[in-house]
Every structure is written in structure tokens, then in C-alpha cells.
Amino acid sequence: MKYKHILSLIILIASTFGVFAQDVKEDGVDKDRQVNYYLVEAKDALAHGNVQKAISIYNQCIAVDNTCATAHYELANIAIAVNDLEVALTHSRKAVAIAPSNNWFQLQLAEILESRGLLKQSAKAYAELAKMETQNPFYLQKSMMLYESSESWEEALKLYDVWEEQYGADFNMMARKQGLYSKAGKPEEGLAELKKLIKKEPKNSEYYSLLAMRYEEEGDEKKVAKTFEKITKLDTISGVANMMLARYYMGVNDYPNAYKALKGAIKSGEVDENANVAGVIGLLQADTTEQSKVYRDTLSSLLIDKYPENAIGYLFKAQEYGEAQDYEKSEKVLEKALDIDPTNYNGLAQMSIIHNIKQEWDELYELAKKGIEYYPQQHLFYLFKGLAASQKKEYAVAEASLTTGYLYAKDSETQEDIRELLADVYYKSGKKQKAFDLFEELLNANPDNVLILNNYAYFLSLENENLEKAEAMSRKTLEQEENNATYLDTYAWVLHQQGRYREALKYMEKAIKNLENEEASSEMWEHYGDILYKLGKSEQAKKEWRKALSLPDPETERLQEKIKNND
């Protein structure tokens, strides 16, 4: 049947029938018996799914006794079930008019009024319920909220007073009340109330915080500063007041004091976890000084200690380790963050960067695939997947991933970076001309991009073609970064291909002198050996080729052949 979904409600109502039988009785026991008979029969009809019969019986009941509130209540329930709120409201109003002290009837009316968008009337009904059930704060809260939603500021303020009398008031409640004074056009009354509270409790830091907020709304910066200064002189500052102080100090770029106040807020245990986390993020994003690294160390440790199941503290700690180039610790902390929140974008991004730095291509590839699964429209993980696939010599996958990443990249700089990687993939996959065409296009748009200049020059030198152009491009990179080992290596190899071996050796030795450990590559040492060999220094050349064999990703067969042929 169409109305079977209301049967459970009907059975529940039947089991608690006595709750609703608060009807006004007229003369005669017979009428009561007849009414009760109709009510039982109507419930039986509903239990068997015969809604129309139940409606007819309830109407007969009302014809016998028009003060039967229960019949009106039940008819309202039936109307609600079929979404006929007009009929439901009519019957619900009658039920409440007959039995105004029945909380079930009052609740039904409040809910129907809210569903109809009659918020002020609904608020009034909830307020009546709140009077009936003083032990349940929900109805008073609901009434306050609905009065605010209907912009009935005066009525809402009255209920805030009731709330304070019955349940007391916390900082958030008082802050909302102050906001209502402003909306009601009575800011002076709100200010007077705050001053009265401060006079009564002169050491209450939260009252001063509210006062500072009021002055802030008025744009009186001097009074704001003066009020916050008073807070700092109190013996005890609450967590909430410390958070307000932290926000104030951040606003005036006083980061040391903001840090101190924020630390107090977190340690207090009085401030909501989300507010503390947001405060830390806000401070560390705002403060770009070197001192912020010290703050980050302490605040991240505090967050981890206070909220061990929140990933944010671990993410900041990982960033700290990463900047110190302690990638093992950074990776360990990031693993914890991603255990807590496997889809965290920053966690996935930081871990991807570490895998890239450590040249862990398999791990980077798998992590980038997860990143794409969680964030299919973010370019970053397509870039990392393409980079890892290229290093794994899976060039078709790399090309597809980088092409997709380019489509999602939002700024021109990122698009340029992706296309540079794509040109690299084209070359390595044998699409030489496509690679060179893309390099030309990129240089036309940005002729001073040293990475593009270097890679294009290097690939030309490997092909042993257009070496004058390659030399000019490579020289241009050294004009910008004269001690860059990678660029020096490229220039040395271009000179080698031109037969200028002594000059090549000079630049290669400079490259090695400026080499940092993480830049050491098998390819560079092979070049060094090749240049030495051309200069007749075969023993030293073999030494460098052997070293090339010991470094990551060597061209093993080619190097062994060179060593063998010169033994």
C-alpha cells in the first residue's frame, strides 16, 4: 500500500496512547468511550494499511468531540506522511490549541512550521517546548537559532538571557549575543553589558576579549590594542583569550607574541582542535621570516602531542625535516600522516617530492597513481607519474601522463615545466624531431629558460648536430649560473663533440669541483673518462669509467666495453 511507510510510527503512537489522551472532556462517560473506541479503531485501520478508513474514523471522532486533540494530532501525522503540510498545519494548530501543555503536540507544530518556512512562528513553538522541558537545552537553542534566521533580533536576545539564567554562558554564546546587539541596532547596550561583567569579574580574560572584539567592530584600533594589552597583564589567561590574542597579534604582524599566545591556547586544552590547527596554519603561512622555522618546530610538536590522530602536526614536522634535508625522518613522519589521512593532498605531495629527491622511481610512480585517483584534476600527480615513468623508461606512459597534466595545469610556468619534461620524453622515446620542435617553441616563448637551454643543447650534442647552436645555448646557461655542475657538464660535452678536448677538460674538471653529492651521475663520469681518453690519458680515463659503473643507472655494457678495449 502507498502508506505502509507510516505503520511503524502508528504502532509507536498506539503503544503510547496514554501520552496523548489529554483531551478536554465534556459531559458523559459514553462520549469518552465512543471517542476511545474511534481512536482504537483508527489505529487498527492504519496498522492494516487502510489510511482512508483511518482518516474517516478520526473525523467521526472529531464530530463526536471537537476537543479531541489526539485525533487532530493523528490526522496531522497522516498529512505529513503524504507531504500535505497545509492540512497538517491546520490539524496541528487545533491539537495545540486544545492541549497546549502537551509537548508532543507542540513539537509537531514547531516542526511543521519550520518545514513551511514560518521560522518566527516555529521559534515561538520551540520556545514553548523549552519552557516545558527545561532539562533539555536543544529546544531553547533551536528557538534562538530560528529567531536569528528570521532576523527577530529582540526575541533572540531575550532567549539568550533565558539561556544564561538556566545554563550559564560560554565565550561563544556571549560572542553571538554581542553580535545580536549590533544587529538589533543596540551596540551600546551590548557594550554596557560587557563593561558591567568586567566590573564584576575584573580578572576574566574572556570578557576583555569580547570587549576587544566590540572595539574591533567599531574600528577603534587604539581601544583594541589597549584592551588586549590589559589581557596580557592578567595573572591567568584562558585558552580562548589566548587564541583571540594570537589572532590580534597576527593581524598586526607581531609574530613572536602571536606564537606565544597560540602556544598558550593549545596547551590550555580549552580551545577546539580545529581552531588550534587553523591558528597554527594561519601563523606559519603569514610569517615568512626565519623565526617561523623555530615556531613550526615547537607548534608541530605541540600538535602531535595534543592531537596525535590529526595529520597536520606530522605534515609540519615533515616539512621541517625536509628543509633540513633529513629525508629519512621526513619520510617516516609523512608515513604517519598518511596512515591517519591517506588522501591528504599535502602529505601525498611532500612524499612524492621525497621519492623524487631520493630517486625512488617505483615508489614515486605508485604514489603518483594514488594521487591521481584521489585528485584526478590536479596536475601535480600527473607530472610526478610522468617523471617516474620516464625514469623507468616507460615513455608511452610518461607521454600520456604529462600530456594530461599539461591540460590541468593552471599557470603558464607550470605548463612550461611540464612541456619541458615532455620534450625530454619525446627525445628519449626516439621522437627526436618532435622533441626539437617543442624545444624551439618553448625557447621562442621564454628564451632565457636555462633548463630548456641546457637540455636542448645537450640533446643536440648527443646527436652531434648543430653544435654551434648547442654551444651558444649552453654558454648562455653558464652566463646565468657559472658554477652549476650540470650546465658545466653539458658545455664540456658540447666542446668534446666539437673536438675541443682541452677546453672540454677544463669545464669538466670545474663541473666536478662544483659537484654536490646528490648531483653525481654515472653519465657525467663517463663524459669525464671520454674526454681524458681523447687527450691520451687512457689510465685515468679507465679510472673514471669504473667510477661511472659504481654510480646509479650506468650504461653498463657500453662502459665495460670501453674499459675492456683499453686494458
Please state, in angstroms and rounded to a whole number, the distance separating the CA atoms of residues 529 and 492.
12
Domains with residue ranges and CATH for the chain: 1-116 (1.25.40.10)
Tell me the pLDDT tens digit for each residue of 483-512. Answer: 999 999 999 999 999 999 999 999 999 999
Q: Provide the Cα torsion 298, 299, 302, 307; round to 10°.
A: -150
CA angle 352–357–363, rounded 5-degree value: 45
**pLDDT exceeds 70 at position 28:** no
pLDDT at 14 over 70: no
DSSP letters, 363-415, are HHHHHHHHHHHH-TT-HHHHHHHHHHHHHTT-HHHHHHHHHHHHHH--SHHHH
CA distance 494 to 460: 8
Q: How many residues does the chain have?
A: 567
Under a CB-based contact definition with an 8 Å cutoff, are residues 215 and 227 in contact? yes
Percentage of the chain beyond pLDDT 90 is 70
Structure confidence by residue, pLDDT tens digits, 224-261: 899 889 899 988 999 989 999 999 999 999 999 999 99
What is the distance between the alpha carbons of residues 492 and 48, in angstroms, rounded to a whole number? 94
In which band, very low, low, confident or very high, does the pLDDT at 292 lie, cut at 50, 70 and 90? Answer: confident
Task: Quickly state the pLDDT bin for 16 (edges 50, 70, 90).
Answer: very low
Q: Do residues 388 and 401 make contact, with C-beta atoms less than 8 angstroms apart? A: no
Whether 426 contacts 435, CB under 8 Å: yes
Element (H or E) spanning 387, and its range?
helix 379-391
Residue 15 has pLDDT above 60, yes or no: no
Query: Of the ranges 369-378, 418-427, 520-529, which one carries the lowest mean pLDDT score?
Result: 520-529
CB 119 within 8 A of CB 151: no
**Residue 221: C-alpha distances to residues 213, 214, 224, 303, 463 (Å):** 10, 11, 5, 32, 68
pLDDT surpassing 70 at residue 548: yes
pTM for the whole structure: 0.69
Secondary structure of residue 54 in the 3-state scheme: helix
pLDDT score of 182: 83
Distance CA 203, CA 209 (A): 12
CA nearest 93: which of 124, 64, 65? 124
pLDDT on residue 316: 93
Nearest partner of 129 among 152, 113, 116, judged by Cα: 113
Name the band, by pLDDT with cuts 50, 70 and 90, for residue 519.
low
**Contact residues for 230 (Cβ-Cβ < 8 A; gap 6+):** 208
How confident is the model at residue 226, as a pLDDT? 92
pLDDT band at 517 (very low <50, low <70, confident <90, very high): low
540: which residues sit within 8 A by CB, 6+ positions away?
529, 532
What span, in angstroms and rounded, lies between the C-alpha atoms of 390 and 363? Answer: 14
528, three cell numbers: 669525464
Query: What does 497-541 look like in DSSP terms, one character per residue?
Result: HTT-HHHHHHHHHHHHHT--GGG--HHHHHHHHHHHHHTT-HHHH
Quick one: cell of 516?
654536490
Report the pLDDT value the prediction gives residue 136, as an integer from 0 to 100. Answer: 87
